[in-house]
C-alpha cells in the first residue's frame, strides 16, 4: 500500500503546483494534502488496530477539510458535512467492532488477534466481521453508505484524484484485506461482503450511464471498481483485491488528473454536454484519458486486465450462489463500464463542438507540471499489471508472506486459470467491446436517437431513477433525516424544555423559590394565627413521641380522627387568615 500512496500522492503534489497556482489559499491546500498523506501512511503502517484507527479518523477529518476547501461555496459545505456524517455511521460500527475484538481476544494487536482467530466462536467472529464491514462500507462507499462520494467532487480536482485513487476510499479495502486471517473463519461475513461488493459495482455502473458532470462520471466508476475489490475480498481472493487496489490507483488518478487538465484548459467547464471536438485542441490529454479509459475497461494486456478480469473469473470458479451472483453482476458491470467510459470520451473529445467560441479559442495543453504526472501515470496504466501480476497473484508467489491468509479450502485460482470455458474468459472482453461500440455509435453517430430514448414517459422515468441514484438520497432525506430531526425536536421539547427543566437545576431553583414564597405568606402578623401554629406544632411533637405507645391502644383511632379534623380545620381557615 505504500507504493500507490506515495507515488500517487507525489504526482498529485506536482500536478497541483500548476493547477492551484492561482488560488490564494494554495499554502493551506498543500498542507492539507501532506497531512492527508501522513494519516494514510499511518493507517497502513501500524501493527495494531489502534494505530489504524488513528489514521482512519485522521483521513476522515482531513477529507472534510479538503472537500470543503472552497468553504464559501454552499455545495462544498453540504458535500463535506455529508461525507463526514456518512462516515460517522461507519465509524460507529468500526468502533464497536474494535471493542468487541478487545473483549473477545484481550488485545487489538494484529499478531495476537490473528493467531487466536481459529480457536474462537464463529458467531462472534461473524459479528466482528460485519462490524468491520460497516466501517469499510462507509469509507469505501459501498451501498447503502455510498452517497457521500459523488458529492465530494465539490473539492478541487487534485483532491478528487487523491481521495478516490490511492487513499481515502481504499482505506476500507485495506481494513478488510488486513483482517483476512479473521474473516476467513466466518463464511457468513464473506457471503455478505460478496453480495455488497457485487451489488455496489452494478449499482454504480448503472448510475454512471446518465451522469453529465465529468468528474461525477469518474466518481461513479470509482464506486463501481471499489465494488469489484470488495467482491474479491468476499471471494477469499485478498491478493487479487489488493492488486486491483494498486492498479486502480494508477488509472483512476490518470483519469481524474486528465479530467482536471480538461477542465482547467476549457474555462472550468465540467458538463460533458458542453464539450466536444477537443481531440484537436488537447491531443496529449486525449491520449492519456483514452489510456486510462482502456485500462478501466480491462483491455487485454493493460494494467487492469490482470486483476479485474481475474476477479470475474474467480467468481465463476466459486460454484456457489454468491459466486454466481458476483459473476453475473460483475460481467454486466464490465459492459456498462465500457459504455459510460466511451460515452465520456465521445462527448468530450470526438463529437462536434458544443462549447462557447471563446472557450475553444483559449483551449490549450497544460505545462510540464501537468504533463509529467499524466505521462508517468499513463505508463503505469499500461505496463504495471503486466510486470507485477505474477508477483501479486502468481501461483506460488510468497510476495505477501504472512500478511494475507487464504484458507486452503478457499483457494480457487487454479480452477479460474485452467478449468473455465474459453467463452467465460472472453465474456467480459466481449461485453466491454459491445458497450464501447454502442457508446460511440449512439453519441457520435446517432445522437438524436439518444434524445428519442428519453422523450417518452418510460424513458424519462428510467433516466430520472438512474440519474437520481436509485433515489437513495430521497429515502434518506424523507424517512431517516426528517425522522431524526423530528425526534431531535421532540427530545428538545419534551426533555430539554420539559422534564429536565422540572427536575434539573432550573426546576429545583423554581421549587425552592416558590416554597420560600409560600412559607413567607404564613407570616400574617396575627397573634391567633401564631398560637394555632404553636398548638399544631406541639400536637405533632407529642404525636411523634407517643405514637409507638398509642398505636397499641384503642385510643389511636380516636386520636387519628382528631388530628385529621384539626388539619382540615387549618386548611379551611388558612385563606381567611391570610
Tell me: the pLDDT tens digits for 275-307?
888 888 888 989 999 999 999 988 888 888 888
Statement to judge: residues 437 and 505 lie in one domain? no
3-state DSSP assignment of residue 460: helix
Statement to judge: residues 438 and 506 lie in one domain? no
Query: What are the phi and psi torsion angles at 179 (to 5°)?
Result: -95, 15
Distance between CA atoms of residues 462 and 401, nearest Å: 48
Out of 467, 489, 510, a domain closes at 467
Statement to judge: residues 460 and 431 lie in one domain? yes
Number of H helices and E strands in the chain, helices first, is 28, 0
DSSP letters for 163-189 = IIIISHHHHHHHHHHHTHHHHTT-HHH
Statement to judge: residues 532 and 515 lie in one domain? no
Answer yes or no: are the C-beta atoms of 213 and 196 closer than 8 Å. Answer: no
Cell of 130: 460485519
Q: What angle do CA 558, 562, 568 make, to 5 degrees?
A: 145
Statement to judge: residues 507 and 542 lie in one domain? no
Res 578: pLDDT: 46
Crossing angle (nearest 10°) for helices 238-265 and 368-393: 170
**What pLDDT digit, counting tens, does each position of 409-450 carry?**
767 677 667 777 888 888 988 999 999 999 888 888 887 887
Which secondary-structure segment (H or E) carries 382? Answer: helix 368-393
Cell of 281: 485542441
Statement to judge: residues 441 and 542 lie in one domain? no
Statement to judge: residues 532 and 449 lie in one domain? no
Distance between CA atoms of residues 578 and 572, nearest Å: 11
What's the total number of domains in the chain? Answer: 3
Domain that holds residue 388: 2-467
pLDDT, greater one: 129 or 523: 129
3-state DSSP assignment of residue 271: strand
Per DSSP, 469 falls in state G
Res 545: pLDDT: 67
**What pLDDT digit, counting tens, does each position of 167-203 carry?**
778 888 889 988 888 888 888 889 999 999 999 999 9
**What pLDDT digit, counting tens, does each position of 24-36 carry?**
888 888 888 888 8
**What pLDDT digit, counting tens, does each position of 381-400 carry?**
898 888 888 888 777 777 67
Res 337: pLDDT: 92
Furthest-apart CA atoms within the chain: distance in Å? 116
Res 572: pLDDT: 53
pLDDT, greater one: 539 or 421: 421
Strand partners, 48: 109
Task: Return the half-sphere exposure (C-beta side, CA atoms, 13 A cut-off) of residue 572.
Answer: 6
Question: Mean pLDDT for the chain?
Answer: 83
Residue 102: name the closest of 138, 48, 52 by CA: 48
Strand partners, 213: 271
**What pLDDT digit, counting tens, does each position of 202-258 carry?**
999 999 888 888 888 998 999 999 999 999 998 888 888 888 888 888 888 899 888
Statement to judge: residues 426 and 486 lie in one domain? no
Statement to judge: residues 405 and 535 lie in one domain? no
Statement to judge: residues 439 and 544 lie in one domain? no
* CB atoms inside a 10 Å sphere around CB 274: 18
Answer yes or no: are the C-beta atoms of 432 and 294 closer than 8 Å. Answer: no
Average pLDDT (553-569) is: 61
Statement to judge: residues 173 and 287 lie in one domain? yes
Statement to judge: residues 577 and 480 lie in one domain? no
Answer yes or no: are the C-beta atoms of 413 and 389 closer than 8 Å. Answer: no
Distance between CA atoms of residues 519 and 578, nearest Å: 12
Amino acid at each position: 500500500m505504500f507504493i500507490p500512496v506515495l507515488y500517487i500522492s507525489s504526482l498529485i503534489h506536482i500536478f497541483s503546483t500548476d493547477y492551484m497556482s492561482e488560488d490564494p489559499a494554495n499554502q493551506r491546500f498543500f498542507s492539507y494534502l501532506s497531512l492527508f498523506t501522513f494519516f494514510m501512511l499511518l493507517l497502513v503502517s501500524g501493527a495494531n488496530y489502534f494505530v489504524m484507527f488513528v489514521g482512519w479518523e485522521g483521513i476522515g477529518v482531513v477529507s472534510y477539510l479538503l472537500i470543503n476547501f472552497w468553504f464559501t461555496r454552499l455545495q462544498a459545505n453540504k458535500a463535506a458535512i455529508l461525507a463526514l456524517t456518512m462516515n460517522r455511521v461507519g465509524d460507529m460500527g468500526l468502533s464497536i467492532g474494535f471493542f468487541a475484538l478487545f473483549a473477545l481476544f484481550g488485545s487489538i494487536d494484529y499478531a495476537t488477534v490473528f493467531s487466536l482467530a481459529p480457536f474462537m466462536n464463529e458467531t462472534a467472529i461473524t459479528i466482528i466481521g460485519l462490524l468491520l464491514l460497516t466501517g469499510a462500507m462507509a469509507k469505501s462507499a459501498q451501498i447503502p453508505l455510498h452517497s457521500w462520494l459523488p458529492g465530494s467532487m465539490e473539492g478541487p480536482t487534485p483532491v478528487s484524484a487523491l481521495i478516490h485513487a490511492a487513499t481515502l476510499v481504499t482505506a476500507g479495502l485495506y481494513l478488510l484485506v488486513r483482517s483476512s486471517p479473521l474473516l476467513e473463519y466466518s463464511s457468513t461475513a464473506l457471503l455478505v461482503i460478496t453480495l455488497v461488493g457485487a451489488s455496489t459495482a452494478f449499482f454504480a455502473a448503472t448510475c454512471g450511464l446518465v451522469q453529465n458532470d465529468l468528474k461525477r462520471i469518474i466518481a461513479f466508476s470509482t464506486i463501481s471498481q471499489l465494488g469489484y475489490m470488495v467482491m474479491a475480498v468476499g471471494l477469499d481472493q485478498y491478493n487479487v483485491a489488493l492488486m486491483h487496489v494498486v492498479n486502480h490507483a494508477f488509472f483512476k488518478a490518470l483519469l481524474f488528473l486528465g479530467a482536471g487538465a480538461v477542465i482547467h484548459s476549457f474555462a472550468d467547464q465540467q458538463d460533458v454536454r458542453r464539450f466536444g471536438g477537443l481531440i484537436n485542441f488537447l491531443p496529449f490529454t486525449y491520449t492519456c484519458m483514452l489510456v486510462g479509459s482502456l485500462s478501466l475497461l480491462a483491455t487485454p494486456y493493460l494494467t487492469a486486465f490482470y486483476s479485474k478480469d481475474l476477479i470475474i473469473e474467480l467468481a465463476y470458479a466459486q460454484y456457489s450462489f454468491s459466486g454466481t451472483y458476483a459473476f453475473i453482476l460483475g460481467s454486466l458491470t464490465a459492459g456498462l463500464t465500457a459504455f459510460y467510459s466511451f460515452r465520456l470520451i465521445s462527448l468530450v473529445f470526438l463529437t462536434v463542438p458544443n462549447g462557447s467560441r471563446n472557450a475553444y479559442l483559449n483551449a490549450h495543453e497544460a505545462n510540464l507540471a501537468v504533463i509529467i504526472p499524466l505521462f508517468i501515470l499513463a505508463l503505469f496504466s499500461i505496463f504495471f499489471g503486466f510486470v507485477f501480476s505474477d508477483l501479486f497473484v502468481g501461483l506460488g508467489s510468497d510476495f505477501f508472506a504472512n500478511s494475507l491468509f487464504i484458507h486452503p479450502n478457499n483457494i480457487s485460482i487454479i480452477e479460474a486459470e485452467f478449468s473455465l470455458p474459453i467463452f467465460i474468459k472472453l465474456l467480459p472482453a466481449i461485453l466491454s467491446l459491445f458497450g464501447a461500440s454502442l457508446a460511440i455509435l449512439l453519441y457520435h453517430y446517432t445522437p438524436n436517437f439518444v434524445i428519442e430514448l428519453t422523450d417518452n414517459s418510460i424513458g424519462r422515468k428510467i433516466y430520472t431513477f438512474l440519474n437520481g441514484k436509485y433515489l437513495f438520497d430521497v429515502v434518506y432525506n424523507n424517512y431517516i433525516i426528517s425522522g431524526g430531526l423530528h425526534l431531535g425536536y421532540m427530545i428538545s421539547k419534551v426533555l430539554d424544555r420539559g422534564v429536565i427543566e422540572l427536575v434539573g437545576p432550573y426546576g429545583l431553583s423554581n421549587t425552592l423559590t416558590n416554597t420560600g414564597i409560600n412559607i413567607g405568606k404564613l407570616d400574617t402578623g396575627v397573634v391567633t394565627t401564631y398560637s394555632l401554629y404553636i398548638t399544631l406544632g406541639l400536637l405533632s411533637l407529642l404525636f411523634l413521641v407517643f405514637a409507638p405507645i398509642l398505636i397499641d391502644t384503642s385510643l389511636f383511632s380516636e386520636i387519628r380522627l382528631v388530628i385529621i379534623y384539626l388539619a382540615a380545620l387549618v386548611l379551611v381557615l388558612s385563606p381567611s387568615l391570610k
